[in-house]
Amino acid sequence: MPRLLAAALTVAVAAALAVGAAFAIVALLEANPEQPNVPLISHETALPRG
């Protein structure tokens, strides 16, 4: 029985760490501002062919 309890406790701790890491990653991604979606080249700025 103690081995089963230790295994269950290990699984619970691992799951809690995984959930905490997921929340931390989401928080870090939300903290960074969204980058502007500006193309580096467009039809207006492209060099003419020829």
Could you read off the pLDDT of 1-50 as tens digits, one per residue? 899 999 999 999 999 999 999 999 999 888 777 778 887 777 776 677 76
Instruction: Give CA–CA dist 28/24, Å, rounded.
Output: 6
35 domain residue, yes or no: no
Per the structure, the count of domains in the chain is: 1
- The domain of 19 spans 1-25
9 domain residue, yes or no: yes
Give the helix/strand (H/E) hosting 6: helix 2-31
Running DSSP on this structure, what letter comes out for residue 44? T
1 domain residue, yes or no: yes
3 domain residue, yes or no: yes
Instruction: Give CA–CA dist 13/5, Å, rounded.
Output: 12
pTM above 0.75, yes or no: no
11 domain residue, yes or no: yes
4 domain residue, yes or no: yes
